[in-house]
Amino acid sequence: MVIVRERNLDDIRQVKITKDYIKHPDGSVLIEMGNTKVICTAMVEEKVPPFLKGAGKGWVSAEYSMLPGSTITRKIRDINRLKLDGRSQEIQRLIGRALRSVVNLEALGERTLWIDCDVIQADGGTRTASITGAFVAMVLAFSKLNKNGIIETIPVNSFLSAISVGVVNGKNMLDLCYTEDSNAQVDMNVVMTDKEEFVEIQGTGEESPFTHKQFSDLLDLACKGCKKLNAIQRDAIGKEICDKIGE
C-alpha cells in the first residue's frame, strides 16, 4: 500500500496539551497528537503497595484503557471480558515503568501516584501519547503537593516523552499514524528523557529485518521528535514549575 503523507517524514503531528482538563484529579491533561486523543490524570493516594510498606519511599502506578468508541470498530470494555486486555496490560506497565525512571521515589515519601490514561480517540501512537501526557499530569500533581507543603520538592529528575518511528515504504518516518503503523516494515516506540537518555526502546521488524544503521537513524529521528515534545510539555507546564524540575 502506498502511503501519502501530508507532512515531512521527520515531522511530528500537530500536538496540543490542555492542562487541568479534569476538575478533581491532582493533575490532568488532554493530549492530542494528530487525531489521537488521550485524557491523562494523576491522583495521589496516601499509602503504598504492601511490598513498599515501611520502606520510606513511594510508587508510581498506571492504568490504561481505550473507550469503546475510540477505534473504528467498537472495542469491548475490559469489565465485560472479566479480565484486562493483554495489550492494555502491557501498555500500562510500560507507562508506569517509564514514569518511575525519572521520579525520586524517596522524595515522594510513602505515597502512590496513580496515573490513568484513557484513549478517547485512536489514530496510532496511543502508548507514546499516553506517556508524554502522563508526564505532564504527574508534574502538575507533584507541584500541587509541593505548594500544599506535603512534599518538599517536585521529585522529578528529568523530562520524559515518547514517540514512534518506523520504516514505511522503505522510508524512515517519525510519529506514525494508524495507517502508517499498519503498513510499517519496521515499527519502534522510543521513550527518552530530555537529556537524550533512553528509558525504553521497543522495536520490531514487522515485515523485514532492519540494519544497525537503520536502527541508529531511527533513534536519531526519535531524539528529534522527543525534543519537540519536551518543548511542548514545558509550554504546557509553565516556567515556574519547570524551573523546579531536577533541583
Domains of the chain, by residue range, sit at 15-242
Quote the pLDDT of residue 4.
64
CB atoms near residue 8 (< 10 Å): 9
80 pLDDT above the threshold of 80: no
Q: How confident is the model at residue 104 (pLDDT cuts 50, 70, 90)?
A: very high
Q: Over 90: is that where the pLDDT of 1 sits?
A: no
Would you state the pLDDT for residue 77?
A: 82
Calculate mean pLDDT across residues 106-130: 97
The whole-angstrom separation of Cα 205 and Cα 69 is 30
Write out the E strands in the chain. 15-19, 27-33, 36-45, 59-66, 112-121, 160-168, 171-174, 184-193, 198-204
Distance CA 114, CA 198 (A): 23
Closest C-alpha among 204, 244, 198, 238 to residue 222: 198
Q: Which of 18-32, 67-81, 92-106, 184-198 has the lowest mean pLDDT?
A: 67-81
For the ranges 16-30, 66-80, 111-125, 133-147, which has the lowest average pLDDT? 66-80
What percent of the chain is modeled with pLDDT above 90? 88
Count other Cβ atoms within 10 Å, centred on residue 204: 12
In this prediction, residue 156 has a pLDDT band, given cuts at 50, 70 and 90, of very high
Lowest mean per-residue pLDDT among 18-22, 34-38, 172-176, 205-209? 205-209
**pLDDT band at residue 3 under the 50/70/90 scheme:** low
Q: What is the pLDDT of residues 200-240, one digit of tens each?
A: 999 999 888 999 999 999 999 999 999 999 999 999 999 99
Domain 15-242 class, CATH top level: alpha beta
pLDDT of residue 79: 73
Distance, CA of 198 to CA of 98 (rounded, Å) = 10
pLDDT score for 2: 57
Amino acid at 114: W
